[in-house]
Structure formats: C-alpha cells, structure tokens
Amino acid sequence: MVELEPIVGRYMTLQIGGRSCRIYFEEAGSGIPLLCLHTAGADGRQFRRLMLDPAITDRYRVIAFDLPWHGKSLPWEGYEVEDYALTTDFYTAAIMGVANALELDRPVVMGCSMGGRIVLHLAHAHADDLRAVIGLEAADHQQPWYDTEWLNRPDVHGGEVCAAMISGLVAPQSPDRYRWETLWGYLSSGPGVFRGDLHFYRADSDFRDRVHLIDTTRCPVFLLTGEYDFSCTPKDTLRTAKDIPGVEAEIMEELGHFPMSENPEKFREYILPVLDRVARLK
C-alpha cells in the first residue's frame, strides 16, 4: 500500500466581512498552532514542505488556509461581477476568523510577503491573541516595481505573466523542482487575483506609521528575508526592524521571496532556530 502523507485538508464555511466564504485549509502535526499565510496570488501549498518536516510537526500544529479566490477556496457568490481587491480589514478578519473557528489557542502566525505585511498589523492589533508572529519577506512598506495592470488584461495571459513577473524573486540557487512548484501557484492562479491581492499590498497596508506601536513583550516578532528578494528587500526588512524594539531580524543567504517553497532545505536552517525560540516563549 502506498504511504500516505500526514497532511490532511478540510473545508469550513465562515462569515468574513459579511460574506459567506468556504475556506480550504490543510494541516499536519500537533502542538503549538502555527498558522501560515501564503503570498499574494498563491495558496497554502507553499507550506507543504514544512508540514512534511517532523522537526516542525513534532512540536507544531502547522495549518495553512487558502484565502477566498485562492487555491481551493472558491471566490464568494457573485464574484463574476466583481473586481477582487483585498483590504487590511478583510485579510485580518479572515485570519482571525480561521484562528477562532479552529479554536487555536494563541497561535503563532507566520506569513510571507503580503502575509508578512499583515502579521505586522496583527502583532499590534491582536497582540494578546497571538503567541508570536513570524514575518517572511516582510516590511512595513516597499517600493512598487511594476504596473499591476499587466497582470490582468485580455491580451496577456494572466497566469503566464504573473509567474514570469515573479520568477526572478526565486533565488538562483533554489532547486528547479521547487522553483517550478512555486511558480505553478502563479501559473494556475485565477484571473485578477494576484492583482487584487496587490491592492492590499500597495494601497491599503502602509504600516510605516504604526509598526513602532508593536510591543514585542506582548507579541514577539521575528523577521526573515531572503537576500535575493528585490520586492521586499533586506533593506526594507531591516528598516522596518529598526522601528520595532525587541524584534529579531535576519537576512537569509541564497534565498528569495518564497523561502518555504523555493528551497525548503535551506529555509530550515533559518526557521528551525526561530521555531525553537518561539516554543520556549510563555
């Protein structure tokens, strides 16, 4: 008989921002809840390798959900006449909604890219509900580097252009197998979804005015950024870290914007020590 992986996926329907949203999530392991947030235009598959790593799942219940419109979480009813645009309020409600629905006791929230941006907001707005946050490729703000209109228009294939735009955010050292697995998330994304996520990232989440309000004695903050990430650059992360007393920030060598999926073996070198630290927190 074939060996089944320990990852289990299920669905739940939540009311988020006044919408009925059928949410898909995957999980593996037991222990401290570790709620993982995928990047813009992608889905929870990015965290699969973490869920297959006993060094993590022996101590952590690793959970990754797909935001509505992403992965196996369908868009809500009536999507066909909407232009999707993610907001800080909706994103926050989705994350806390999932945490509450699953009755997670002070979870660690780890997000990448736009997920790394929102954890900075959560560390302030929900400090007492969380054990810690981990921001991967996270900053309070970053400079745009292209016009998102190219991501969703009839004369350019959306999946192809999304993947080709972000392909250079994967470090050149990352194994092809994982590189192309990461890019598949973008190649297969729904029309306008990546662009809609970037509404949050670019227009509704400039947190430069509030990261200094984060109290890391209430909610510890860890930041990890890959040296090849030119979207959220190491400079962006270190600048953000300067404004958060008590934050721990590290730049990861030979990694890019998708550390958990583009090179899981390399990422372990950086995330395992952080998870050790988090496990020792009260």
Chain positions contacting other proteins, by CB under 8 A:
143, 145-146, 150, 155-157, 160-161, 163-165, 167-169, 171-173, 227-228, 230
Residue carrying the six token digits 């979870």: 107
Rank residues 78 and 154 by Cβ distance to other proteins and give the closer one. 154
Rank residues 26 and 229 by Cβ distance to other proteins and give the closer one. 229
In the complex, minimum distance from the CB of residue 240 to other proteins, in angstroms, rounded to a whole number: 18
In the complex, minimum distance from the CB of residue 94 to other proteins, in angstroms, rounded to a whole number: 29
Question: Could you give the residue ranges of the DSSP H alpha helices within the chain?
Answer: 48-51, 54-57, 88-101, 114-125, 158-166, 176-187, 193-203, 234-242, 259-262, 264-279
Q: List, in sequence order, every residue forming a beta bridge with 32; answer none if it has no partner.
A: 60
Contact status, residue 35 vs residue 107, Cβ threshold 8 Å? yes
In the complex, minimum distance from the CB of residue 176 to other proteins, in angstroms, rounded to a whole number: 13
Q: What tokens does 168 get?
A: 């250079």
The DSSP symbol for 113 reads T
In the complex, minimum distance from the CB of residue 187 to other proteins, in angstroms, rounded to a whole number: 10
Listed in sequence order, the residues at least 6 apart from 221 whose beta carbon sits closer than 8 Å to its beta carbon are 119, 120, 123, 132, 133, 134, 135, 214, 244, 246, 247, 248
Provide the 10 A C-beta neighbour count for residue 189: 24
Rank residues 11 and 150 by Cβ distance to other proteins and give the closer one. 150
Rank residues 144 and 245 by Cβ distance to other proteins and give the closer one. 144
Rounded CA-CA distance 87/132 in Å is 22
**What's the first-to-final CA gap in the chain, in angstroms?**
42
In the complex, minimum distance from the CB of residue 202 to other proteins, in angstroms, rounded to a whole number: 14
Helices and strands, number each (H, E), in the chain: 10, 8
In the complex, minimum distance from the CB of residue 229 to other proteins, in angstroms, rounded to a whole number: 8
In the complex, minimum distance from the CB of residue 173 to other proteins, in angstroms, rounded to a whole number: 7
Q: What tokens does 136 get?
A: 């991967």
Rank residues 3 and 155 by Cβ distance to other proteins and give the closer one. 155
Rank residues 14 and 164 by Cβ distance to other proteins and give the closer one. 164
Provide the 10 A C-beta neighbour count for residue 81: 5
Rank residues 87 and 188 by Cβ distance to other proteins and give the closer one. 188
